[in-house]
Amino acid sequence: MEQDFFDVPEALWRQIKPLLPVEPPKPKGGRPRVPDRVALAGILYRVRTGCQWKALPPDFGSGSTCHLRMMQWVRAGVFAKVHEELLRYYDRRRGIKWDFASLDSAMAKAPKGGATPGRTRRTAENSA
């Protein structure tokens, strides 16, 4: 696998790195931590491909590690901060037309088809 293709570009990494929590100390030692940039690349790989966490290529560390790091960052509000920072960056570079926005959505039938057609339950209101 070409790691460079899935790596986080240097310019993007410089913007994201300051927003990440500091690595917690390990007073008892333990296994070396997967670098944050590698874990982020694994998370982005998973988002782009839709693969299962356990199916991540080993270049990103284990799928469990990437998932754990993502959940830690979600709880710490990292992705909201990254989103805000990248919006500010884009607005400075290209400008965002804040007076125009679009929302994409999809409608789907309820999995069980909703209420069964035909007989309806009698209530006090409709039996009077």
Q: What pLDDT, on a 0 to 100 scale, did the predictor assign at position 109?
A: 74
Q: What pLDDT, on a 0 to 100 scale, did the predictor assign at position 2?
A: 45
Q: What pLDDT, on a 0 to 100 scale, did the predictor assign at position 36?
A: 95
CB-facing half-sphere around the CA of 18: CA atoms within 13 A: 6
Positions of the chain with pLDDT lower than 70, given as ranges: 1-6, 113-128
Choose among 2, 1, 36: nearest CA to 19.
36
Q: What is the DSSP letter of 20?
A: S
Q: What pLDDT, on a 0 to 100 scale, did the predictor assign at position 53?
A: 95
CA 119 to chain centre: 44
